[in-house]
Amino acid sequence: MVNYLILVFLLCIGNSFVNAMEVECKSLASFFDVNVFFQHADICANIARYYGSKNQLWYVDKRLEHEGDVLSAYFNKDGTNILTAESIIHNSGFYLWDSNTGQKISVGDKITTWSIQRAVFDEAEKNIIVPMGEGVDIRLLIYPKTNTVCNNPKTLRWQMFYKGKEKDSKEMILVSGYNHLWYMDMEQDQCSVVNYCRFRNIANWNHKKTEFVEIWENTLKIFDKNGINHELSYTYDNFIPRSVSYNHKKTELLVCGGFDEAKYACIIYIQDRSSGKILMQLVNSCHIFYAYFNKQDKEICTFTLDGMIRIWNRSTGKVVAQFYNGSANLTRSLDWNYAGNKIVTATDKCAVIWTRYDNCTLAQLLLRNLLGLWILVEKPNKTIDSSIKLLGSVAAVLRCDKDELCKVWNSFSENIQETIWLSMNRLIQQYGK
C-alpha cells in the first residue's frame, strides 16, 4: 500500500512536471538546475542537453572481434584508429582498426610465435612497440623496424610499459621491472637502469615525458626524467596506494588504493602534483582496476571488480554514467579517445568501443527515468525477456500509454536499444522474482 501511494505521488509530480514544461520555461530550467537559461525555440533540446550531461548514456558502438584473447586496445592521438594486440597459442599478432567503421587494417597479422603482452604506438605513431616473452626472457619488438631493442635483461618484467620522447626527438621508453626501472633509447638499441626500485614498484610517466611517478608500499615519489632528483615525496597515513597516473595538464595525480592492508583498492585520491595535497576523495563500492583522466581532465573513467565502467565528474566528484562492460577477469585495458566521447576496452576476445550519446531528447530522458522508477517500485518477473515485454510491464505498473513508450523507445538507434535492454535485463535477473 505504501509503495502504491509513493507511486501515485511520483506520477502526480511527473504530470505536474510535464504541464510545467509546456508553459513555465524558467521553472523547468530551475527544476533541472540550469544556471544560465538560453532563450531558444527548442527549450526541450536545451534542457535535455544540459540534464543529459549529468546523466550520460553510453552505448556499444562497435565490437572488434578477434580469434584469440584481446590483450590491449588503445586509440591513436586523434582517435581515428585503434591498435589491438591478440594472443593465440603459438600465433600472436596486432592489428590497426578504423574506429569509425570498425574495419580492420592488417598491421602485424600473426607476426610472432612469441607470447605478446600488449601493443602501443610510439610517440610519432610511425612504429608499434610490442613487449614479448615470458618470465625473464622479455624482448621488445619495434614494427615495422622489427629489431629487438632490449633482449633478455635479467630482472625485466612486462608489468609496466611506458613510452616517451626526448626534446631531441629520440624515442625513449620506460619499463618497470621487479627491481629496476629500465630507460631505453630506441635509436641506439640500448637499455640502461634509471634507478634501483624495490619489489612490486609502480611507475608512470607524465604526459610530457619530463618526469615519472613511482609508488612503493605507502610512499609516492616523483623523479626527474633521469630518475635521479626527487621532485616530490609523499607518504600516506593508513592508506596503501596501488596505482597512479597523471592528468594531462601535469597538475594532478590520480591515486587508487585502500586503507591499511585492504585487499581491494576502493578509494581514489586526486592529489596536487606540486604539494601532494589531497584535493578530492572518490569512493567506490568495490575494487578499482583502472582509473584515468580524459584528455580534457574534466572526467575520470574507472573500471571495477563488478564489471562496471563509471564516469566521474572531476569538479563535483559525482558519477555521471555507469554501464556494464563485462567480466573483470576478462577486461585487460581501458582507454579514452582524444575528444572524451569514446572509450575502448580489451574484453575477452573483443575490443569494445563505447560511445557517449549526446543527442538525447527530453522524451528519451524521461523514458530512462521511468525505467529506473519501474525497477525501484516493482519486483520484476524474470520471464521478461524482451524490450517489448519490458515496455508493456512499465506501462502497466506506472499507468503509462504503451504506444507512447514504444514510440519514444523506437526513437533510439538499435545499438542504444540493445545497450539499454541488456542493462535492464541484467537488473531484472538480479532483482527479479
When comparing pLDDT for 307 and 25, which is higher? Answer: 307
pLDDT digits (tens, 9 = 90+) for 128-140: 777 766 544 556 6
Beta-carbon neighbour count of residue 144 at 10 Å? Answer: 10
Q: Are 222 and 230 contacting, i.e. CB atoms less than 8 angstroms apart?
A: yes
At the fourth CATH level, the homologous superfamily of domain 59-357 is YVTN repeat-like/Quinoprotein amine dehydrogenase (2.130.10.10)
Q: Which residue has the higher pLDDT, 183 or 297?
A: 297
Long-range contacts of 276-281 (CB under 8 A, 24+ apart): 276/220, 276/232, 276/234, 279/252, 280/314, 280/317, 281/317
152 vs 390, residue with greater confidence: 390
State yes or no: pLDDT of 411 exceeds 80: yes
Cell numbers standing for residue 148: 629487438
DSSP string, 139-179: EEEEETT--EEEE--TT--SSEEEEEE-TTS-EEEEEE-SS
Mean pLDDT of 42-50: 70
Across the chain, what does the average pLDDT equal? 76
Distances in Å between the Cα of 176 and the Cα atoms of 254, 255, 324, 335, 383 are 19, 18, 31, 20, 51
Cβ neighbours of residue 19 closer than 8 Å, sequence gap 6 or more = none
Nearest-angstrom CA–CA distance, 296 and 151: 37
pLDDT at 167 over 70: no
Indicate whether 143 pLDDT > 90: no
> What confidence score (pLDDT) does residue 110 get?
58
Look up residue 58 and give its amino acid.
Answer: W
Q: What are the distances in angstroms from CA 74 to CA 109, 212, 253, 334, 431?
A: 17, 21, 21, 8, 35
Q: Can the peptide bond before residue 153 be classed as cis, meaning omega within 30 degrees of 0?
A: no
Q: What percent of the chain has pLDDT over 90?
A: 33
Residue 293 confidence (pLDDT): 94
The cell numbers describing 423, all together, are 542493462
Strands of the sheet containing 57-65, edge to edge, are 57-65, 350-357, 342-347, 331-336
State the number of CA atoms in the 13 A half-sphere of 373 facing the CB.
Answer: 23
Helix, strand counts (H, E) of the chain:
7, 28
State which H helix or E strand residue 94 sits in. strand 92-98
Instruction: Kindly report, residue by residue over 73-94, the tens digit of the pLDDT.
Output: 999 988 999 999 988 876 778 8
Length of the chain: 433
Q: Give pLDDT, residue 54.
A: 84
pLDDT given at position 420:
94
- The pairing of strands 69-75 and 81-87 is antiparallel
Q: How far apart are CA 129 and CA 393, in angstroms?
A: 52
Q: What is the pLDDT of residues 239-254, one digit of tens each?
A: 888 888 899 888 999 9
pLDDT, average across residues 311-315: 95
Q: Distance between CA atoms of 413 and 397, rounded to whole angstroms?
A: 25
Q: Look at residue 281 in the predicted model and tell me its pLDDT.
A: 94
Note the pLDDT of residue 9.
46
What's the whole-number mean pLDDT along residues 207-219?
76
- C-alpha span between 345 and 37 (Å, rounded): 38
Task: Kindly report, as residue ranges, where domains of CATH 2.130.10.10 are found in the chain.
Answer: 59-357
Residue 176 has pLDDT above 60, yes or no: no
Nearest Cα to Cα of residue 45 among 315, 322, 34, 421 = 34
| CB contact at 8 A, 190 and 181 | no
Element (H, E) at 321: strand 319-324
pLDDT value at residue 412: 95
| pLDDT beyond 90 at 263 | no
- Check residues 258 and 282 and name the one with the higher pLDDT: 282
Model confidence at 149: pLDDT above 50: no
The residue that leads in pLDDT, 78 or 184, is 78
C-alpha to C-alpha distance for 397 and 170, rounded to whole angstroms: 65
**What is the mean predicted confidence (pLDDT) over 114-119?**
76
What lies within 8 Å, CB to CB, of 332 at 6+ separation is 69, 70, 71, 72, 346, 347
Model pLDDT, residue 159: 34
Rounded to an integer, what distance in angstroms lies between the CA atom of residue 140 and that of residue 147? Answer: 8
Task: Judge contact between 143 and 108, C-beta under 8 A.
Answer: yes
Average pLDDT over residues 176-182: 45
Of 401 and 43, which is predicted with more confidence? Answer: 401
What tens digit of pLDDT does each residue of 328-379 get? 778 889 999 999 999 999 999 999 999 999 988 888 988 998 898 898 887 8
> pLDDT band for position 108 (50/70/90)?
low
**pTM here?**
0.79
Query: Is the model's pLDDT at 69 over the cut of 80?
Result: yes
Q: Would you state the pLDDT for residue 242? A: 80
